[in-house]
A and B are shown apart, each in its own frame.
Chain A
Amino acid sequence: MKSAVIVFPGLNRDRDMIAALTKVSGTAPAIVWHQDADLPDVDLAVIPGGFSYGDYLRCGAIAARSPIMDKVRAHAARGGKVLGVCNGFQILIEAGLLPGALMRNMSLKFVCREVKLEVVNADTDFTRGYSKGQIIRCPVAHHDGNYFADAETIARLEGNGQVAFRYAEGTNPNGSINDIAGIFNEQKNVLGLMPHPENLIEAAHGGDDGRALFTGLLGNAA
């Protein structure tokens, strides 16, 4: 599976994501600068974490209106996979590729710590490396990860199996409604999540619970 990482100015976990994709698949992803005219021909487009445009205006709002996002939207419409992590999740929401909103953490503070995640839907290309109900470790590092949507949207997400990950065992770090940590679009080819699986893929990270997301997505593990 071929992948590309889209880089906006101010993103800062692009290098972490590139390293994870490279280490897991054995192949480096294509790097797409936000001003590039096109997405290369890939199966997976990834928007990594960071502070695109300094989080000015609203997290992800400026990047979401960048021309490259039209290409990402077209890629998703064709059934191509899109993964957004942290700021990438915020950008996907601002771009209308995923529903809801990510508000400031309930504590009003940035939080960087390890949480527990429940794999809610393991029946997708993103999550098939896990089993349903599995509890995994995963770090978070964000200021605005408090997921919110109206009751109707939440009911639809829950009913359609669009909730990918839920904070488990009382570790919700930000006040997200229904402990939601990550969601799919309706077709399950777009995933956005706040935690950072790319930072827990090898012994040096103190664990590799995040690795299965990438092995599931990219096929054979290197």
Chain B
Amino acid sequence: MTIPNDIRITPELVADHGLKPDEYQKILDLIGREPTYTELGIFSAMWNEHCSYKSSKKWLKTLPTTGPRVIQGPGENAGVVDIGDGQAVVFKMESHNHPSFIEPYQGAATGVGGILRDVFTMGARPVAAMNALRFGSPDHEKTRHLVSGVVAGVGGYGNAFGVPTVGGEVEFDERYNGNILVNAFAAGLADTDKIFYSKAEGVGLPVVYLGAKTGRDGVGGATMASAEFGDDIEEKRPTVQVGDPFTEKRLLEACLELMQTGAVIAIQDMGAAGLTCSAVEMGAKGDLGIELDLDKVPVREERMTPYEMMLSESQERMLMVLHPEKEAAARAVFEKWELDFATVGVTTDDLRFRVLWQGDEVANLPIKELGDEAPEYDRPWVEPKVPTPLAADDIPQMDVADALLKLMGGHQVSSRRWVYEQYDTLIQGNSLQRPGGDAGVIRVEGHPTKGLAFSSDVTPRYCEADPYEGGKQAVAECWRNLTATGAEPLAATDNLNFGNPERPEIMGQLVHAIRGIGEACLALDFPIVSGNVSLYNETNGRGILPTPTIGGVGLLPDWSQMARIGFAAAGQVILLVGAPPARGTHLGQSIYLRDLFGRKDGPAPHVDLAHERRTGDFVRKLIRSGVVTACHDLSDGGLAVGLAEMAVASGIGATVVDINDHDPILQYFGEDQGRYLVTLNLDPQGEELTALWRDAEALGIFAPWIGTTGGSDLVLGEARAIPVAALKAAHEGWFPNYMDGKAA
């Protein structure tokens, strides 16, 4: 069916495009006439939440985004951070939540494809990927289907493209029943003097379309991703794009080859809102107009209308502005890789965005205003209500060994092996730490000692209880996970997943989480260099848990000194660095309460950023001094789960001595922040250990010796000894059993 361009613009049509009446009025004021149908589509693409950040912009501006190593902060396809020796790491995280719920395989696959494209658009070869996945309750009827489809989709795309997946998260909660989260992270390496940007420069230059052909898939995708779900969700399946990793791999090689020729002036991948967004962005950033001739756009379907071409989200496409004298050389590169190459437009000096089709001008809009004049809202918000503290004697009791076994074999803590074995974790031959530890680590190819660490973190239940502390905690935990390998955390990307911002409670969550993230990033010198906001994660009026995912990158100067989580040998001292004197005290929002007693009460744990910084810097120094044989930060499940994970990773047990007069449940399962377990190859009676404690004390860090590694059991104080083999069986068992339909 062909939709004419002169279709009548009715209030219903405006509403169907996700535009509010006042927003439509703004369009009328801006252009002084009624928009054409194509123009309405262009406005809806540029002004939706996904592309314009209209609800979050005011608050995102408050985040720290600069630092001595930051080459490019937010606003480009990805952030760029200097790692020395003339090299930079280029990275970003982005959500593909809405499409993945509608069509899990393709939704997740194209999420991975999109983020990889963001990275290589900047001239970087992707070297690592991560995925933070959040699903509904394990016993919800759709969950298995979604897990299996999303994981297969992530693997299907990333494996074929050829990037190692080095880390990520998988979490379950009933609040994601109707809105799962798929947050894809990618990082690449580039030379600092060969970074490519989207800003077009020069009038009368060719605008070139590269990659795959344009089809009708994904028309209106970005607008769909900016609305809540209702019961008609299945009808939105046609808005999901279809991925082709084979084309993406060729596009990568062709782009990197083309960039070597010096032909590229500006480059922008076609992601959300495809041709519209990429063309407007390149022009607006360079203070240039763009004229596109749609008759030249390579299409794979017949009778496509300008509206469809402008809004198609067909994957694996790029737009570039090229030096005209090098156009022929550029074409040869793309023909070698059997990809489409078409000159579809030209840069102009009139600051207009003009679209021609079959001799007609179907759109003529002011290009700067399309981007810059997008509505920006200061949406009303309310102060989140923070839960009251638990009573001091409110410590539900359970046998420590039983509780630990249950948590290790539960959906929250159990091994994600079932997931990550479907991802290629070692392609490129540089993976030093694969999933299962605190952070994924790769070596920097071509450098004798340097490595990069990656971690993705957030604790949504903390964010729900207290968005401010939860925001801080997400940053701190990411920073901590990088630190636990010995890496210096460099910078982060944020992927903010929330409900409907038009509800003041949700907006309050967003505002407070961003405040927490900003404070933590500032205190930890961990700037945000890229990111993405996903709002309207709601179904029938019920929002997800606020989930500001933080993806961080750290630098290891010498990977031979990197720490891992598994105990290294028997007879080694275990220190709990950064602990309060009582080791653990905070049960509010713990998984001990939630998963063993069905309680979701109490405040989130407090994150003391100064303590976090001191402790992390101290641990990193210890690791780099060469005395640390294993290191693991404490998070879900506290000390008991931390010790169990170190034992399971190595097959070596440990014996830990209780402290007197303090409830073992708090000691072992409290989720106090800023703590690390460290094992040392030092004489317990020796001078070196005494010196270490002196240093710690001088910094105000408590680092008690809590036990010793060895044996085949984990012995936690007075509790019965648990064979490491039993912990391992519980830990490895849950996921495969669940996916086989045996457990929920």
- How near does chain A come to B159, taking the closest CB pair, in angstroms? 6
* Inter-chain contacts of A198 with B (CB < 8 A): 429
Q: Does B421 contact A (CB under 8 A)?
A: yes
Does chain A have a CB within 8 A of B432?
A: yes
Q: Are A141 and B246 in contact (CB under 8 A)?
A: no
How many Å lie between the Cα of A19 and that of B443 in the bound state?
Answer: 14
Evaluate contact between A53 and B246: CB separation under 8 angstroms. yes
Q: Which residues of B contact A19 (CB under 8 A)?
A: 429
A66-110 interface with B by 8 A CB criterion? 109-110
Q: Report B-chain residues with C-beta under 8 Å of the C-beta of A141.
A: 159, 424, 426-427
A111-B338 in contact given A16-B429, A19-B429 (Cβ < 8 Å): no
Closest 3 A-B residue pairs measured CB to CB? A12-B162, A54-B246, A51-B160
B159: A residues at CB distance < 8 A: 51, 110, 112, 141, 143
- Say how far A201's CB is from chain B's closest CB, in angstroms: 8
B250 interface contact, C-beta 8 A: yes
B547 CB to nearest A CB, Å: 27
Partner of B427 from A16, A111, A204 at Cβ < 8 Å? A16
Let me know if A139 is at the binding interface, CB within 8 A. yes
CB-based contact A56/B246 at 8 Å: yes
CA distance A54 to B161 in the complex (A): 9
Asked if A54 and B244 sit within 8 Å, CB to CB, the answer is: yes
| Cα–Cα distance between A143 and B249 once the two chains are bound (Å) | 18
In the bound complex, what is the Cα–Cα distance between A13 and B161 (angstroms)?
10
Closest Cβ–Cβ distance, residue B498 to chain A (whole Å): 33
Give A contacts to B, CB under 8 Å. 9-10, 12-13, 15-16, 19-20, 35, 50-51, 53-56, 109-113, 139, 141, 143, 196, 198-199, 204-205
Closest to A33 in B: B336
Quick one: which of B249, B250, B336, B429 contacts A20, CB cutoff 8 A? B429
- Also in contact, A12 and B427, with CB within 8 A (given A51-B160, A55-B160, A109-B152): yes
Chain B residues closer than 8 Å to A112, beta-carbon distance: 159, 420-426
Judge whether B101 is part of the interface by a CB distance below 8 angstroms.
Answer: no
Of residues B156, B426, B428, B432, which shows the largest number of chain A Cβ atoms within 10 Å of its Cβ? Answer: B426
A51 to chain B, nearest CB (A): 4
Flag B418-461 by CB within 8 Å of A: 1 or 0 each: 00111111111110100000000001000000000000000000
- Tell me the residues in window 146-163 of chain B with beta carbons closer than 8 Å to chain A beta carbons: 152, 155-156, 159-162
Q: How many angstroms between the C-alpha atoms of A141 and B336 in the bound complex?
A: 28
15 A-B pairs with CB atoms under 8 Å apart are A9-B246, A9-B249, A10-B160, A10-B246, A13-B427, A15-B429, A54-B160, A110-B155, A112-B425, A113-B421, A141-B424, A141-B426, A196-B426, A199-B426, A204-B432
Q: Is B559 an interface residue (CB 8 A)?
A: yes
* Contact, CB under 8 Å: B250 / A10: yes
B337 within 8 A of A: yes
Q: How far, in Å, is A137 (CB) from chain B's closest CB?
A: 12
B245 at the interface (CB under 8 A from A): yes
Alpha-carbon gap, A199 to B155, bound state (A): 19
User: Which of B152, B244, B247, B429 has the most chain A CB within a 10 Å cutoff?
Assistant: B429
B152 touches A12 (CB 8 A): no
Closest A residue to B445 by beta carbon equals A19
Alpha-carbon distance A13/B420, docked complex (angstroms): 19
In the assembled complex, the Cα of A50 lies from the Cα of B253 at a distance in Å of 14
Inter-chain contacts of B337 with A (CB < 8 A): 9
B: residues with CB less than 8 A from A are 152, 155-156, 159-162, 244-247, 249-250, 336-338, 420-430, 432, 443, 559
Q: Which residue of chain A is the closest to B162 with respect to CB atoms?
A: A12
- Contacts of B421 on A, CB cut-off 8 Å? 111-113
Q: Is the CB of B443 within 8 A of A204?
A: yes
Q: How far is the CA of A50 from the CA of B158 in the complex (A)?
A: 11
In contact, A13 and B162 (Cβ under 8 angstroms): yes
Expressed in whole angstroms, the minimum distance between the Cβ of A79 and any Cβ of chain B is: 30
Q: B138 CB to closest chain A CB, in angstroms? A: 19
User: In the complex the two chains form, what is the Cα distance from A80 to B155 in whole Å?
Assistant: 36
For the complex, what is the distance from the CA of A29 to the CA of B559, rounded to whole Å?
Answer: 28
With CB as the reference atom, state the residue of chain B lying closest to A51. Answer: B160
How long is the Cα–Cα vector from A204 to B155 in the complex, in angstroms?
24
- Output the least CB separation between A52 and chain B (Å): 9
Interfacial chain A residues near B420, Cβ < 8 Å: 112
Neighbouring A residues of B160 by C-beta, 8 Å: 10, 12, 50-51, 54-55
Q: Could you tell me if B422 and A110 are in contact, using CB atoms closer than 8 angstroms?
A: yes
Measured in the bound complex, the distance between the Cα atoms of B424 and A205 in whole Å is 14
A15 to B161 alpha-carbon distance, docked (Å)? 13
Given A110-B423, A112-B425, A204-B430, output 9 extra A-B contacts at Cβ < 8 Å.
A10-B249, A12-B249, A15-B428, A16-B427, A19-B429, A55-B246, A110-B155, A111-B422, A141-B424
The residue of chain A having its C-beta at the shortest distance from the C-beta of B151 within the complex is A109
B448 nearest CB across to chain A (Å): 10
A53 contacts across to B, CB distance below 8 A: 246
- The reply to whether A51 and B429 form a contact with Cβ atoms under 8 Å apart is no
In the docked arrangement, what's the CA distance between A163 and B700, Å?
63
Residue of B nearest to A50 (CB): B162
Complex interface: chain A residues within 8 A of B424 (CB): 110, 112, 141
Choose among B152, B246, B426, B559 the residue that contacts A51 (Cβ–Cβ < 8 A).
Answer: B246
List residues of chain B with CB within 8 A of the CB of A12.
160-162, 249, 427
Q: Chain B residues with Cβ under 8 A from A54's Cβ?
A: 160, 244-247
Q: Which residues of A contact B161 (CB under 8 A)?
A: 12
- Interchain CB contact under 8 A, A205 and B429: yes
Min CB–CB distance B161 → chain A (angstroms): 7
Query: Chain A residues near B427 (CB, 8 Å)?
Result: 12-13, 16, 141, 199
Q: Which of B162, B244, B338, B429 contacts A9 (CB 8 A)?
A: B338
**Cβ distance A40 to chain B, nearest Cβ, rounded Å:** 19
B429 touches A199 (CB 8 A): yes
Which residue of A is nearest B253, CB measured?
Answer: A9
- A16 and B428: CB pair below 8 A? yes
Residues of A near B250 (CB, < 8 A) are 9-10
Query: Which of A12, A15, A111 has the most chain B CB within a 10 Å cutoff?
Result: A12
In the assembly, what is the distance between CA of A141 and CA of B244, in Å?
A: 20
Closest beta carbon of chain A to B446's beta carbon, Å: 10
B490 to chain A, nearest CB (A): 21
Docked CA distance A205–B559 (Å): 12
A10 contact set on B, CB distance < 8 A: 160, 246, 249-250
Given the interface contacts A109-B152, A112-B421, does A204 sit within 8 Å of B426 by beta carbon? Answer: no
Q: How far is the CB of A16 from chain B (nearest CB, A)?
A: 5
Does the CB pair B428–A109 fall under 8 Å? no
Smallest distance from the beta carbon of B170 to chain A beta carbons, Å? 16
Nearest chain-A residue to B148 (Cβ)? A109
A98 to B249, CA, bound (A): 28
- What distance in Å separates the Cβ of A207 from its nearest Cβ neighbour in chain B? 12
Q: Roughly how many angstroms separate A199 CA and B420 CA in the complex, as a whole number?
A: 18
Q: Across the interface, which residues of A come within 8 angstroms of B425, CB to CB?
A: 112
In the assembled complex, which residues on chain B have CB atoms less than 8 Å from the CB atom of A35? 336
Assess whether B246 is in contact with A139, with CB atoms less than 8 Å apart. no
Q: How far is the CB of A93 from chain B (nearest CB, A)?
A: 19
A15 vs B253: C-alpha distance when bound (angstroms): 12
- Chain A: minimal CB distance from B486 (Å): 15
The complex places the Cα of A9 from the Cα of B425 at a distance, in Å, of 21
In Å, the complex CA distance between A112 and B337 comes to 28
Give, as a whole number of angstroms, the nearest-CB distance from B200 to chain A.
30
CB A111 to nearest CB in B, in angstroms, measures: 6
A35 to B244, CA, bound (A): 22
